[in-house]
Amino acid sequence: MTKSPRGPSSMPEDLSAPVVPTGPVAPVARASDRSDFAMDHPHKNLDRAARAARARMSAGISAHSFIEAWTDWAQHMSQAPGRQLELIERAQRNALALMSHLSGAKGEETPPFAPKPFDHRFRHPGWQKPPFSLWQQSFLATQDWWDFATDHLRGLRPEDADRTRFMARQTLDVMSPSNFPALNPEILEATVRSQGRNLAEGAVNFVHDAIKTLTQTRDPAPEGYRVGEDLACTPGRVVFRNALFELIQYAPRTAEVRAEPILIIPAWIMKYYILDLSPRNSMVNYLVGQGFTVFAISWCNPTAEQAELSLEDYRKNGVMAALQAVNTIVPDRKVHAVGYCLGGTILAIAAATMARDRDDRLASITLMAAQVDFAEAGELLLFVDESQVAFLEDMMWDQGYLDRPQMAGTFSAIRSEDLIWSRAVQRYWLGRQEVHTDMGVWLADTTRMPARMHSEYLRGLFLENRLTAGRFAVEGRVIALKDISTPMFVVATETDHIAPWRSVYKTQLFTDCAVTFVLTSGGHNSGIVNEPGNPRSRYRVSHRPEGAFYVGPDDWLESSAERSGSWWPEWAGWLSGQSSGVVTGRAELGAPQFGLPALEAAPGSYVFQT
């Protein structure tokens, strides 16, 4: 990062000191004091300001990366006569299949082209009848051709091929017949049935959403989904607080508890209560019911004044400060550390640092949908290259953080068929209100990311992949995941487009410790929040002993048996096996004798920061 002419940072040297419950939270760096976001010459700052303005208008997307990808693809395609012939043949084959199906010449009942599994735009039965079937199949045939046209080509950079395919898909999604009332049988049917009331209600929804977007406001939580009452309602108390996080300890529900406590480290890109939703699907509630003493970090929602927060702050003044507090409250016991998403990545960094420094306070490590290697990080890599990262850095340099809409837009674009266009049709053309769910309410309760931390994360991990390349340094010394000897439990989800399961699986490639690996049904969130009793749940599990040879993900998938049910009981049993026994549960929370009294009731105050 670069230096700001606005003055030195006022970030306190020690964020780990607990905050007195009756006093204000310790101050952090003001936006005007940001020291890491400046250039040597004011003209360069003018360039950054101009790029920041463009970034805000484009939701943080750099056009240069995508223009370069189109150019690279077009040049290689123009010099590949064989591929051009393949594309001609593909177009002819698709056209013949389309005509054959529509004419009924072969008596086929199954259409030749089918939507992708996550594409729900054509579920209405009216799409199977003419003329709507013609428009649907023509669209899917075109989509199939572009998928083939933007496949990897010899000499073409793979990332440029992927970006070109992504852009082609985005363009096609705009032109999908499902978006137009006159071409969509579901909209026509609803309009006739309601005598146009759906269009009037859709217009109201559109105006409502437009006002929220322009004013950057959010609807209050609906009845039955209040944080602290209906969600994040597992009984507990805040037992530690600094400027970065609150630590919540949950009250025991069993007379005896496992001797080793659990510390949950969620991602700071989300509110922690994804793991404490409704009582029926709360992971925290489940663990407490299984006889574990559970602690959870609730991160602050950073503002521009906290722009200088770094990855090292999140490790040292986050993970390590929380671990120290847990060790104080539950002395002389090791800790089961659990990290979800980014929280799992920072936990892996912290664990490798602890191993290097001969710190053996961890009883086990659980990584849930968390990556340590980012070479195969999925479609998020479409948005990470030098140009894109610089574009985001300039925007964050100007505003101090990565804002909620800028993150949400990226995740939505990856699954635009469902998350953008299907939703738009439902709300604006069909006039339907969204059905509230606990996870949907949580998804809308987004957070920000500090500028310095997010830049370090994108550059050091996503762009340069330093952690598994032996180039990630903590306190001036390189760390290695292979130093970790603590047993690991690694969870990946089948349809995760944020942390693809094969990428999560590679944790086994870069570690030598004993690893239990679970691949569960669902996506990045639904696969983790996968409570017992869900009839659609299934998972695969394997146990790799310490020092065993590596088995590739495809070979592993072929040899592993699928089991029905939730993976949570498997994990709880594994945690119990890593524990030393049971002790009597303590009704008192915190450790007031050591300066860690129980403060306010869970979920604390940081979870309500907007």
Collapse the DSSP code of 467 into the 3-class scheme (helix H, G, I; strand E, B; otherwise coil) and give the result.
helix
Residue-by-residue DSSP string for 502-538: HHHHGGGTS--S-EEEEEESS-TTTTTS--TT-TT-E
| Torsion angles phi and psi, residue 358, rounded to 5 | 60, 40
CB 227 within 8 A of CB 273: yes
| DSSP-derived secondary structure letter, 254 | S
- Quote helix, strand, coil % in the chain, to nearest 5: 45, 10, 40
Token pair of 179, please? 């978006």
CB 494 within 8 A of CB 521: yes
Q: Residue 421's closest CA among 113, 112, 95, 115? A: 115
Q: Name the residue with tokens 């030393």.
A: 580
> Buried b vs exposed e over 368-392: b needs ≥16 C-beta within 10 Å?
bbbbbbbeebbbbbbbbbeebbbbb
Q: What is the dihedral of CA 233, 423, 217, 390, to 10 degrees?
A: 100
| DSSP-derived secondary structure letter, 318 | I
Host H or E run for residue 202? helix 197-215
Residue 478's beta-bridge partner residues? 473
Evaluated on CA atoms 97, 102, 103, 104, the torsion sign reads positive
Token pair of 594, please? 């050591």
Task: Give the chain's end-to-end CA distance (angstroms, integer).
Answer: 27
For the chain, the C-alpha Rg in angstroms (whole number) is 26
Token pair of 189, please? 């049917």
Q: What is the dihedral of CA 153, 158, 160, 162, to 10 degrees?
A: 100
Whether 300 is catalytic: no
One-letter amino acid at 301 equals N
Residue-by-residue DSSP string for 266-288: --TTS-GGGGS-SGGG-HHHHHH
| Torsion angles phi and psi, residue 354, rounded to 5 | -60, -40
Q: Residue 252's closest CA among 602, 553, 586, 508? A: 586
Which residues are known catalytic residues?
Answer: 341
